[in-house]
Structure 1
C-alpha cells in the first residue's frame, strides 16, 4: 500500500471512503483498514487525524448531521412555494436515498459509537433526531403560511414522516421506492392537515 499518497482534504476523503464501504457492505464491514484501502492511503493516515476509529466514526456522523442542517435551512426556505407533499417527499428522498439510512444502521450497530455520540448531543438517534427536527421546522413554516392546519400536531407528524420514510428506504439492497410510493406515504400522513390542492 502506498504511504506517500497526497490527500487534499484528508477528513473528507476518508469520510467519503467510509460512506462507500458502508453503502456497499454495511456497518459490519466498516473497519479502519477498509476505509483507508478505499481511500487509497496508508492505515496510519486515519490514525494521524483521529484519536481512534470510534472518534473517526463519531466525526463522520457529526459531519453528516451538519449536512442535514444545511438541508433543513433550504427546506424551510421553500415553505410557501411548490406543494407541501412535493417538498416533504423530496426531503425524505434526499435524506434517505443517500447514506442516512446506512449511518443510522452504523450507530445502531456500534455501542461505543452510540455512547460517544450521546456525550456530544441531545438524546435520540443521531440523524433521525435531526431529520425529525428538519421536518418539524418545515411543517411549522408551512403552518405559519396557512398551508398546514393551525391545529396540526407537528410533534407527531414529523416523527411519523421520518419513521415512514426510513422504513421505505431501509432495505439498502432492494429496489429504492418510487417517487409515487414516497408521495403516497406523505399524502396519507398529512392528509388531515394539508390546506392546499393535492398534486
Structure 2
C-alpha cells in the first residue's frame, strides 16, 4: 500500500487478514508481517493502531468473541422450534467451522496473549467459554419449555457439548466432520435428556 493512501476501517481489515492467515496456516504463521501482507498494507499501519502485536491479537480475539452475540441470539431464538438436537448441531457446526478452533490454538500458543485476555474475559479459553455460556442459555430455555428434562444439568451439558465438538473439529489438516457425526455426538450427549 503506497504511503498516504487512506484505508477504510483499518482495524477490521487487519482483523479479517489475521483471520485468513490463521485459518490458512495456523497460529505459527500469524505474525505482524503476515497480517499486513495479507491486508496489503504497510507494517507500520498495524503499529499505528495497536501498541504491539500482542495488543493487536488481544483485540482480534475480543472482536471475534463479540461476533458470537448474534449467534447466541439466533440459537436462543430457536428455542421451542425444530429439534433440540438439530438446533445444537447447527450452532456447534457454525461455531467450529468459523475461526473458533484457530483462535483456541492461538490463545494456547501465545502466553502473553492469554495474560492480556485474562483481564477482559471470564476464566477459561476465549471462544470456548463464551460458547458454553451460549449453549447453556439455550439449553435452559429448552428446559423451561419442557423440551429438555427438568433434571438436565445445563452447566454440565454445555461444556460437554463444546468439548466434544472441539474434538471433532480440532484437526485443521483434515476435512471438517460430516454433519451426521456432529449430530450423533449431540444426540449422545443430550438425547436422553
Q: TM-score range by the shorter chain?
A: over 0.9
Superposed CA offset, 1:74-131 (max 9, x none): 1101100111111100011000011000000000000000000001122111111000
* Map of 1:168 onto structure 2: 168
Q: Give the TM-score, by structure 1 length.
A: 0.95
SS at match of 1:81: coil
* Map of 1:197 onto structure 2: none
Q: Which structure 2 residue ranges, 5 or more long, are not aligned? A: none
Q: Which structure 1 residue ranges, 5 or more long, are not aligned? A: 194-199
Offset at 1:69?
Answer: 1.9
* Map of 2:86 onto structure 1: 86
Asked whether the equivalents of residues 85 and 191 of structure 2 are also in contact (C-alpha less than 8 Å), the reply is no
Asked whether the equivalents of residues 89 and 186 of structure 2 are also in contact (C-alpha less than 8 Å), the reply is yes
Q: Give the TM-score, by structure 2 length.
A: 0.97
Length, aligned pairs only:
193
The ranges of structure 1 where at least 4 consecutive aligned residues each deviate by more than 4 angstroms after the TM superposition are none
Instruction: Determine the C-alpha separation between the residues in 1 that align with 2:117 and 2:182.
Output: 30
Offset at 1:5?
Answer: 4.1
* Map of 1:142 onto structure 2: 142
* Map of 1:98 onto structure 2: 98
Offset at 1:153?
Answer: 0.9
* Map of 2:156 onto structure 1: 156
Offset at 1:6?
Answer: 3.0
* Map of 1:191 onto structure 2: 191
